[in-house]
Amino acid sequence: MILPSLAAVLAMSAGARAPAPDAESDAFAAAFTLKKVGKSAEAAAAFEAIVKTYPASARIGEALVEAGVGWFGVGRDKQVFHRSTPDSDKAFDTALKLFARVATDRPDDPSAGRAQYMRGSTHLFQGDLAGAEADYGRVLEKFSNDTKYVAKSLERRAAVRRHLLQSDLALADLQRYQKDFPKGEESKAVAQYIQFVSMFEKPAPPLEAEAWIQGGPLSLESLRGKVVGVYFFATWCENCAKEQSFVLDIEQRYAPAGLALVGVLDHSRGQTADSVRAYLASNKIGFAAMMDRGRTTPAYHGSTIPDLVLIDKTGKTRWHDNPANLADYTIETLLGEDATPLSPSKPK
């Protein structure tokens, strides 16, 4: 079967003659093809065309949610350093309206739980942590029969609560996930996050360096009064390279306010003190960096890279995750814990 083009799908909503009986299925197939190849804007337009063309369809909720997912993808693409821009917020706000047309207006639709979950994810990427926490909570309260998105919402709400530095609440969500969904698709990640959270509010393990490549020697004791970011990465790591500009931006933005980054590398894949030193110089990485003697990484339960641990001014571990997941609220709260607490709402 030949799938209709995007133009054909859009034409359906512009007054074209009545579609053939199987045209709706073909339109969905064409729209999903656009989604599959990462054409978020085109997929959003195709699903919106389906909504206009088939307003009485049994799949209208699905089409609305998929249109929202397309706009969500557009918003992600328009972010800079994982932060929202006016263009990304415009796309995210469009997605939120589409999700609300299902989660709020069609609560009995099979896609309603997913729509509510996506509202939480949209607010999360906008930096609206309070909104995200509430949205994920609504999935648990109102769509408890949708076990797939209840599980996802538990894991995501735990992440939001880690961003909010609510360790006890985050741990409760993670433990509930383990109890209710022991074989869930996020079970491995949940087990790792439980390890991370178990270290929160406790003194951070020492930095046991084999050698300091630059900026040292340092100890956590010598850095008291600063927020310390222990950054685990490697010269050969492609994902580390993808996040390098973001990590350097974090240092540039927050070092004047009291952030101290410490890089931790090891001898994996032939890394040596000399090769690391050359890498740091060629990539203009100026923060302190050490070679791990094989004790620091396991002490922090590090198993993947890139990885970032935030230690507060008193030397306690407070946050741990991929640096790409770091919310401004989290680091700014740690930097200003003696000041007026920040609002976890969407930045203005």
pLDDT mean over 57-73: 98
Alpha carbon 171 to its chain centroid, in Å, reads 18
Could you tell me which residue, 348 or 137, shows the higher pLDDT? 137
Q: What is the dihedral of CA 290, 295, 296, 297, to 10 degrees?
A: 100
**Tokens 């994810």 — which residue?**
121
* pLDDT tens by residue, 27-55: 999 999 999 999 999 999 999 999 999 99
* pLDDT tens by residue, 215-266: 989 999 999 999 999 999 999 999 999 999 999 999 999 999 999 999 999 9
Structure token pair of residue 319 = 């946050």
Helix (H, G, I), strand (E, B) or coil at 262: strand
Record the pTM. Answer: 0.90
Could you tell me which residue, 321 or 1, shows the higher pLDDT? 321
pLDDT at site 8:
46
pLDDT mean over 302-318: 96
Phi/psi region, residue 216 (left: phi>0; alpha: psi -120 to 50; beta: rest), is beta
The span from the CA of 233 to the CA of 266, in Å, is 9
pLDDT score of 340 more than 70: no
